[in-house]
Amino acid sequence: MKAAVITFPGSNRDGDVARALKQAGATVVHSWHGDSELPQGTDLVVLPGGFSYGDYLRTGAIAGRAHIMDATRAHAARGGYVLGICNGFQIACEAGLLPGILVRNAHLKFVCKRQNLTVERNDTPYTASYAKGQVIDVCIAHGEGNYIADAETLARLEGEGLVAFRYADADGKVTPAANPNGSLDSIAGIYSPGFNVLGLMPHPENLIDSLVGGTDGRGLFQSLVGAKRAA
């Protein structure tokens, strides 16, 4: 598994996601937003968290139009893996890789805390190491994580099983109280129709080491490396 982690001006979680990928056995190459091509042999493109372009205009809007995104869209169109985390999810939506948009949290506050998620399905390249319906403990840190899409898009996401993760309580119950940002249907992450693109607001790369209090994030990176091996 060769992963290209893209750094945009203002990305700040590129190092952490690289560490998580390496721990899972991936080879990591760092790429720059101004590059017009991905490194030769890239299997996975990672759009990391951070505050690209200072969140100017709309979160992810300017990064979503960066040169490297043309190559990233072509990679996704060929079935290549693209993982967008937090600001990377916002960038993926703005770049047209995923539908909908992330807007300001409904309560207007930046949230930075531990959060439980449900794994909606485990038959995807990103979640095979988890159990279906498993409740995982991750970190969230965002001000614009409120997922919005029109009714038709939302119905399609739900109908085609493209919701990857939902915000839940510790028992796995998806309730309004467990929704930290007002996202429609408590959506924390979504797939593209081919399940090769995943965008999610939480940071699985934060919890990969028991030294920092949890390892539930590991499964996502292990799943990806396993999916490549199986392919």
Partner 1 sequence: MKARVTVTLKNGVLDPQGKAIEGALKSLGIDGVGSVRQGKVFDIELSTVDKAAAEAALKSACEKLLANTVIENYRVEIGA
Which spans of this chain sit near partner 1 (rule: CB under 8 A)? 57-58, 61-62, 65, 94, 99-101, 103-108, 146, 148-150, 182
Closest separation in Å from C-beta 89 to partner 1: 14
User: Are the C-beta atoms of 66 and 57 separated by less than 8 Å?
Assistant: no
Spatial separation of the C-alpha atoms in residues 205 and 95, rounded to whole Å: 23
Q: Which run of H or E residues covers position 136?
A: strand 135-142
Closer residue to partner 1 in complex, CB, 182/214:
182
The least CB distance from residue 64 to partner 1, in Å, is 9
The minimum distance between CB 175 and partner 1, in angstroms, equals 19
Catalytic residue among 33, 75, 142, 203: 203
Minimum CB separation of residue 21 from partner 1 in Å reads: 30
Nearer Cβ to partner 1 (11/181)? 181
- Are 189 and 199 in contact by the 8 Å Cβ rule? The answer is yes
Question: Least Å distance between CB 162 and partner 1?
Answer: 16
* Alpha-carbon gap, residue 43 to 25, rounded angstroms: 13
Asked about 205 being catalytic, the answer comes back as yes
What H or E segment, with its residue span, contains residue 159? Answer: helix 151-159
The nearer residue to partner 1, 39 or 182, going by C-beta atoms, is 182
The one catalytic residue in 33, 86, 94, 144 is: 86
Taking the CB of residue 137, how many other CB atoms lie within 10 A of it? 16
- CA torsion through residues 143, 9, 99, 225, sign: negative
For partner 1, give the closer residue by CB, 105 or 186. Answer: 105
Residue count of the chain, please give it: 231
160 part of the active site: no
- Residue 86 annotated to the active site: yes
Would you say the C-alpha torsion 187, 188, 192, 194 has a positive or negative sign? negative
Residues 6+ apart with CB under 8 A from 226: 128, 129
Residue nearer to partner 1 on the CB measure, 57 or 74: 57
Catalytic residues: 86, 203, 205
